[in-house]
Amino acid sequence: METALRTRLAPVQFVLTDQSSQHAGHAGARPGGETHYHVAIRAAAFEGLSRVARQRLVYEALREEFETGLHALSLDLKTPGEA
């Protein structure tokens, strides 16, 4: 995930947190984890984009991960100037 997002968005700040253990027993959770994440990104790629358009960029970059087990992703997406 990190490589896909860094390549696509060239962020100036990037924090990816696996929150899977907090969702044990919930829908989409697997025993091995890696299903629920939070990502905070500061990137110029978000300039001029709405919140929904920013989310679409991230989801598009992670399409393969969603197809292979990623279940939930919470997002904090801002431009460097908004941080």
pLDDT digits over 6-42, tens only?
999 999 999 999 877 664 556 554 555 557 789 999 9
pTM for the model stands at 0.81
Q: Quote the pLDDT of residue 77.
A: 98
SS3 label, residue 24 = coil
Cβ neighbours of residue 36 closer than 8 Å, sequence gap 6 or more: 18, 19, 20, 22, 23, 26, 28, 29, 71, 72, 73
> For 15-24, 60-69, 70-79, which range has the lowest pLDDT when averaged over its residues?
15-24
Q: Bigger pLDDT: 22 or 60?
A: 60
